[in-house]
Structure formats: structure tokens, C-alpha cells
Structure 1
């Protein structure tokens, strides 16, 4: 059940920040309808990351995990003798996941802070093919260890 909640959070972030061509869908949790992108590759990645963080958190020790969603702009970096591309982060979402051994009220499980302020940070879209015109990634961490998922 907990992995489903983690996946719902990731789907909500990706739906609002993957600015390419998408097919919308919804999922339900905590009696709330959450938007998601209807794409099998994104579903597989989100489920793998959510399962990885949920499995890694040990309920007996109240471990904390973190899902980190990073969006970047690919810019050309020029130097004296060469040029290359570099990903420059323009937004990063840190989703702190804490396992609690006893039930808690649904009203305090989900905390949302406004994403309205971050819209000015989105760089100019240079191309619009695929689900995102920008490079993006999801990392899973428990403590200071990054998990492969």
C-alpha cells in the first residue's frame, strides 16, 4: 500500500512538470484523484522507484527515505578548444518518505506546498518531441545511500 502512495506523489510531480506531448490519466489514493501520464515506460519507472524506496525503509527502525525528481536544461558549454553539452538543474523536488509503524490520520499524510512560485524557473522549450523537452531523472535515497531501481 505504501508504494502506491509513493508512486502517486511521483506521478503528480511528473504530470505537472513533463511539458511534452502526454496522454493524461488519473489514479486514486486517500480519496483524492491524482493526475498521471498514461505511458507504460513512465509507469514502469515510477513503480520501480516507489517500490525501491518502500522496500528499503525498515518499519521497525522508522527509517527515512527520499525520492528526488530533478529537471534540467541541456545547454551547450563552450571552452577554448571544445564544446559539449551540460545538464543544468532548473528544478528539484525532494519527497521525504518516513515509515511510521502505527496508523496516522489521512489528514496529515499528504502535505502539499504550492508549485505556483516555481513556474518562472522553467526554461524556454526548444523542442517538443516526446513526453519531456528537458532531461529528467528520479533518484531513490535511504540515509545517504542512493539505491538503484
Structure 2
């Protein structure tokens, strides 16, 4: 049996634009019969995202009901929009809570639901950074606000 907490966790850990794809993908399907590889390829998921949804998919044969449940919980989460911030920098800083990798920045970008505000500057690899922003904007069909300060 699927729990509310499982779906809530999935929604929290997978970017909203992918959740929307999952909701559409499930319609008229039997989730328990789908292979993880097929799911990942069809939806453009990472392997960790695929494993997370496979746990949920494996417990039901009714994709329509699962789609409705995910949509309802997702809409509930979106109505409670919150702000997430994180200090990300490069250098020889040794303070707790500071990340040193570009991967952290890309994870934050991909988890954005409505808006990204970038404060500061990027020292190098700007092309990769802007490619990630462009890719995300395309996936969200222009629904994401991106601001630089």
C-alpha cells in the first residue's frame, strides 16, 4: 500500500517539472509492470529518482489513481511554497554548511519550482551554468522566474 509520506517524499526530492511528467506518464498505465530503466528513459530521470518512484509504482496497478494522488499531494505542497536557500562557494573555506561543488548549484537549480534568485557571481564555467538554467527554463516551458542580483 502506498503511503502519503512516500509520495510526499518523492515530490520533495524530484523537481516539479519531472513530477508533472510523472503525473501524465501514469495515466492509463499499470505502474507495477513498468521497468525502472523504461521509466528513467521515458521521463528523463536520474537513477536515484527512478529508484524512488519505482518503490511507489511497484505497489499499485492503477496508474490513474496514482496519478491523481501524486497530483493532489503535489498541488498541496505547491500551495505551501517555501523559500530554500543555500550558501554555495568555491575556495578554501572550512565553515560548516558551505558546499564546494558545482553539483550543489545544479541540484538547487533543478529543484526550483517557481523562482530562482542568484546573488553573487560565478568565477568560471559560466557556460555550463547558463546551459543548466536554459535547460531548466525549457523543461518548465518558461514558467520559472530567474533573477540575477
From the two aligned structures, give the one with the greater strand fraction: 1
TM normalised by structure 1 equals 0.25
From the two aligned structures, give the one with the greater helix fraction: 2
